[in-house]
């Protein structure tokens, strides 16, 4: 182990005080020309890097954003993470990630140990006491929970579900099955409500199969669907994975999509476009979601640290979901 270079070493080498070195690095304009040069030379010579822990302690901030999601391996989050990290990196912040289902105590610690100064929360299922107990700038993204005392950002899931129904109805489908997500999930419930409202509004014969967003649930729903007496001709799945599972199982059972049944998904994951048939779905702009959430929470962090000379930039609150019409939906057979 090479002994680390400290600010004192640099100061000594440059023949100045540590205060001057610190100033040279953080606000060079307050240091004299010649001194500045000496210091910079010494910094280069020693390969000095500021010790983050020391700086964080003194400044009572962590220069770090914490992302919490209920399941890091869910590929839906990947682009969101990437977008947040990009925004963060741009302003010199680091990014921590953690699964949000790691136990109450650990979770509380994450938000209270002073090593993060802002949070992007992608989980609406946590104990509100924990979330509100963090007392940090926080934004809810995608999922939400009204008990959390924090702004939220995401698409209008109710309206998006209505888009799906509208699309199927427009193609002449009069019987539609909804494969829902887990009932404890806000997104699932809201999409289902949107579906039900949309179906009712249009006088459509609806039914719901309880799923859980997974491929397997979709496959199971397909098997159920095949046994129905009056088979719905349209199916709206609460997630793309679920829709792919449905279609895949249909193929195995000898049904054609969209010939025998039109299927529409939700999310527009990467493979939706390349699946066979390509999947009609509701597009969630995940990149934009991550980016906007990051900007928001960064603005909140600035404000919390009293740097809010200028007000936080005006960011639009709601993100617009759109329907992408591909090959998995078609006219209803008569």
Partner DNA sequence: GAATCGGATGTAATCGATTTCAATGGTGCC
Partner DNA sequence: GGCACCATTGAAATCGATTACATCCGATTC
In Å, how far are 16, 80, 104, 179, 215 from 240, measured between CA atoms?
62, 17, 31, 11, 8
From the list its own copies, DNA, none, partner contacted by residue 97 (C-beta under 5 to 8 A by kind): its own copies
Site string for its own copies, 32-51 (x = CB under 8 A): ---------------x-xxx
Non-local (6+) Cβ contacts of 182 within 8 A are 188, 211, 212, 213
Contacts of 293 (CB under 8 A, 6+ apart): 80, 84, 120, 139, 141, 153
Binding site for DNA (CB under 7 A): 4, 6-8, 15-23, 25-26, 30-36, 48-51, 54-55, 57-60
Helix (H, G, I), strand (E, B), or coil: what is residue 153?
strand
Q: Residue 282: beta bridge partners?
A: 266, 323
Nearest of 105, 103, 139, 102 to residue 119 by alpha carbon: 139
Residues paired with residue 177 on neighbouring β-strands, in sequence order: 207, 235
Give whichever of 85 and 192 is closer to its own copies, judged by the CB atom. Answer: 85
User: Looking at the DSSP assignment, which residues form a beta bridge with residue 280?
Assistant: 264
Question: Looking at beta carbons only, is 1 or 334 nearer to DNA?
Answer: 1
Minimum CB–partner distance for residue 168 and its own copies (Å): 22
Nearer to its own copies, 12 or 251 (CB): 251
The contact mask relative to its own copies for 117-136 (x = CB under 8 A, - = no) is: ----------------x-x-
In this structure, the number of other CB atoms found within 10 A of the CB of residue 90 comes to: 11
Q: Residues near 216 by Cβ (< 8 Å), separated by ≥ 6?
A: 245
* CB-based contact 319:289 (threshold 8 Å): yes
225-244 residues in contact with its own copies (CB under 8 A) are: 244
Window of 12-20, 38-46, 200-208, 246-254 that interacts with its own copies by CB under 8 A: 246-254
> From the CB of 160, what's the least distance to its own copies, in Å?
22
Nearest to 65 by CA among 41, 39, 98, 38: 98
Piece in contact with its own copies (CB under 8 A), picked from 10-18, 99-107, 152-160, 193-201: 99-107
30 binds, among its own copies, DNA, none (CB under 5 to 8 A by kind): DNA
| 102 is an interface residue for its own copies by CB under 8 A | yes
Pick what 248 binds: DNA, its own copies, none; C-beta below 5 to 8 Å, kind-dependent. its own copies
What residue ranges bind its own copies (CB under 8 A)?
1-2, 4, 47, 49-54, 56-57, 62, 64, 71-75, 77-79, 81-83, 85-86, 89, 94-99, 102, 106, 108-110, 112-115, 133, 135, 215, 244-245, 247-248, 251, 270-271, 273-276, 278, 304
């Amino acid at each position: 182990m090479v002994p680390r270079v400290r600010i004192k070493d640099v100061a000594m080498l440059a023949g100045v005080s540590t205060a001057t070195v610190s100033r040279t690095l953080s606000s060079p304009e307050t240091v004299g020309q010649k001194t500045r040069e000496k210091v910079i030379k010494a910094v280069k010579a020693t390969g000095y890097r500021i010790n983050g822990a020391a700086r964080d302690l003194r400044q009572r901030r962590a220069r770090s954003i914490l992302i919490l999601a209920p399941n890091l391996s869910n590929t839906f989050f990947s682009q969101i993470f990437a977008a947040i990290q990009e925004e963060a990196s741009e302003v010199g912040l680091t990014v921590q990630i953690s699964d949000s289902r790691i136990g109450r105590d650990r979770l509380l610690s994450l938000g209270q140990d002073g090593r993060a100064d802002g949070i992007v929360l992608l989980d609406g299922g946590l104990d509100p006491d924990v979330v509100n107990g963090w007392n940090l700038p926080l934004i809810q993204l995608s999922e939400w929970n009204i008990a959390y005392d924090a702004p939220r950002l995401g698409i209008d899931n109710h309206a998006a579900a209505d888009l799906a129904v509208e699309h199927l109805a427009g193609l002449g489908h009069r019987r539609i099955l909804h494969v829902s997500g887990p009932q404890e999930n806000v997104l699932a419930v809201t999409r289902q409500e949107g579906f039900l409202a949309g179906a009712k509004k249009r006088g459509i014969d609806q039914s719901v199969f309880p799923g859980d967003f997974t491929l397997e649930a979709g496959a199971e729903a397909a098997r159920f669907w095949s046994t129905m007496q009056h088979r719905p001709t349209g199916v709206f799945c609460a997630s793309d994975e679920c829709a792919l599972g449905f279609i895949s199982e249909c193929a195995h059972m000898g049904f054609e999509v969209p010939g025998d049944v039109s299927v529409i998904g939700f999310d527009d994951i990467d493979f939706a476009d390349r699946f066979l048939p390509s999947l009609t779905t509701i597009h969630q702009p995940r990149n934009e979601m991550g980016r906007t959430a990051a900007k928001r929470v960064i603005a909140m962090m600035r404000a919390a640290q009293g740097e809010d000379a200028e007000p936080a930039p005006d960011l639009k609150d709601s993100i617009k979901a759109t329907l992408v019409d591909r090959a998995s939906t078609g006219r209803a057979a008569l």
